[in-house]
Amino acid sequence: MEQDIVLTEVALRDGSHAISHKFTTDQVINVTKALDEANVPYIEVAHGDGLGGSSLQYGRSSTNEMELIEAAVDSCNQSKIAVLMLPGVGTVKELRKAHQLGAQMVRVATHVTEADVARQHLALGKELGMETVGFLMMAHMVSKEKLLEQALEMESSGADSVYIVDSAGAFLPHEVRERIRLLKNNLQVNIGFHGHNNLSLAMANTLVAIEEGATRIDGSIRCLGAGAGNTQTEVLIGVLERMNIKTGVDLYKMIDLSEYVAESILEHPQEITKGSFMLGYAGVYSSFLLHANRAAQKFNVDSRDILVELGKRQVVGGQEDMIVDVASELAKQR
């Protein structure tokens, strides 16, 4: 089937966050079969934080991700299973295991400034004969020049595609436009975009990315992803059809699957709440929300002011102790 855009459905990985990592094998089989029948090219399956993410820190999976990956592989006639891995969270051991079970694509994800960390795992992916993706997370936190440098690093490490990942759902359309354009003009490999809807801009940003030459696009069916969810896959397919851009995916089958996801998987519909909005508006990690709420209570300041200040200071994951400092400073400033 002719395709202009190659879709990766991420609900069975990113959506893991939205349901506290409680995917069952039956759910994964049902969703994967339907995606395969709808002709979705790639289906990502893993813990929300990638291979090996099941832990006290990131949240335990109720079903072992390897069991889910195996079930997904067995459910597919044509779709390929992708796995996400964050080096340090996952290891070569899990990647080898996922490959052995039949995963055909590895997406190696790093913070947008740490692309060099992906080198080993991209190389292993190539060695195993997998398709490889470099996945630059929290991409809004750096200038477009820095982003290009890191994208080139991913390319030189063997990534077949490099994604701009708007983890916090913080990008505005003109920011996506200039970044995709810059990468498109300077890289030989496929350019991808992964959006989140925290500012109600996932679809807008995705269309801009496509206009500028991105050909690899992520979506989650029924917005089953972290925060306010991702670009809603079935809606994107409909919009692209209206624009005569081919995805090769069956729209009606995806709509039927969306109804199944709403009825049988989502605990509550995905919408833009105070929390998910603030992630996008402040441009911070989702893990900061809970910490900011606690610190706000302790110092009697507005948690939103804390998040905005953390965004301004470009605080990254692992620096959670900064949250109390910021709250304390805000309290003194009053």
Give the one residue of 202, 279, 301, 330 binding a second copy; rule: CB under 8 A: 202
Residue 119 marked ligand-binding: no
Positions 15 through 74 that interact with a second copy (CB under 8 A): none
Positions 286 through 305 that interact with a second copy (CB under 8 A): 302, 304
SS (H, E, C) the chain: CCCCCEEEECCCCCHHHHCCCCCCHHHHHHHHHHHHHCCCCEEECCCCCCCCCCECCCECCCCCHHHHHHHHHHCCCCCEEEEEECECCECHHHHHHHHHHCCCEEEEEEECCCHHHHHHHHHHHHHCCCEEEEEEECHHHCCHHHHHHHHHHHHHCCCCEEEEECCCCCCCHHHHHHHHHHHHHHCCCEEEEECECCCCCHHHHHHHHHHCCCCEEEEEHHHCCCCCCECEHHHHHHHHHHCCCCCCCCHHHHHHHHHHHHHHCCCCCCCCCHHHHHHHHHCCCCCHHHHHHHHHHHHCCCHHHHHHHHHHCCCCCCCCHHHHHHHHHHHHHC
Six token digits for residue 296: 């706000």
Residue 196 marked ligand-binding: yes
Residues in contact with a second copy, shown as a per-residue x/- string from 259 to 278 under the rule CB under 8 A = x--x-----xxxxxxx--xx
Nearer to a second copy, 108 or 199 (CB): 199
Rounded Cα–Cα distance for residues 74 and 69 (Å)? 9
Active-site residue, 17 included: yes
Catalytic residue from among 17, 21, 47, 121: 17
Six token digits for residue 236: 């994107």
Binding-site size for a second copy (CB under 8 A) equals 39
Positions 220 through 259 that interact with a second copy (CB under 8 A): 222-223, 231-232, 234-236, 238-239, 242-243, 252, 255, 258-259
Nearer to a second copy, 64 or 273 (CB): 273
Nearer to a second copy, 102 or 275 (CB): 275
Nearer to a second copy, 69 or 261 (CB): 261
Q: Report the first-to-last Cα separation within the chain, whole angstroms.
A: 62
Q: Least distance from C-beta 280 to a second copy, angstroms?
A: 8
Give the one residue of 128, 187, 203, 324 binding a second copy; rule: CB under 8 A: 203
Cβ neighbors of 258 (< 8 A, separation 6 or more) are 221, 222, 234
Whether the Cβ atoms of residue 122 and residue 154 lie closer than 8 Å to each other? yes
Rounded Cα–Cα distance for residues 160 and 238 (Å)? 27
Q: Least distance from C-beta 312 to a second copy, angstroms?
A: 12
Give the one residue of 133, 201, 279, 296 binding a second copy; rule: CB under 8 A: 201
Nearer to a second copy, 92 or 203 (CB): 203
Q: Least distance from C-beta 318 to a second copy, angstroms?
A: 26
Q: Rg for the chain (alpha carbons), in Å?
A: 19
Positions 158 through 177 that interact with a second copy (CB under 8 A): 172-173
Nearer to a second copy, 264 or 273 (CB): 273
Residue 13 marked ligand-binding: yes
Q: Least distance from C-beta 237 to a second copy, angstroms?
A: 10
Q: Least distance from C-beta 285 to a second copy, angstroms?
A: 18
Q: Which of 16, 87, 21, 26 is nearest to 56 (CA)?
A: 21
Task: Please report, in range form, the residues annotated as the binding site for Mn(2+).
Answer: 14, 194, 196
Task: Please report, in range form, the residues annotated as the binding site for substrate.
Answer: 13-14, 167, 194, 285
Residues annotated as catalytic are 17
Task: Please report, in range form, the residues annotated as the binding site.
Answer: 13-14, 167, 194, 196, 285
Q: Which residues bind a second copy (CB under 8 A)?
A: 172-173, 197, 199-204, 207, 222-223, 231-232, 234-236, 238-239, 242-243, 252, 255, 258-259, 262, 268-274, 277-278, 280-281, 302, 304
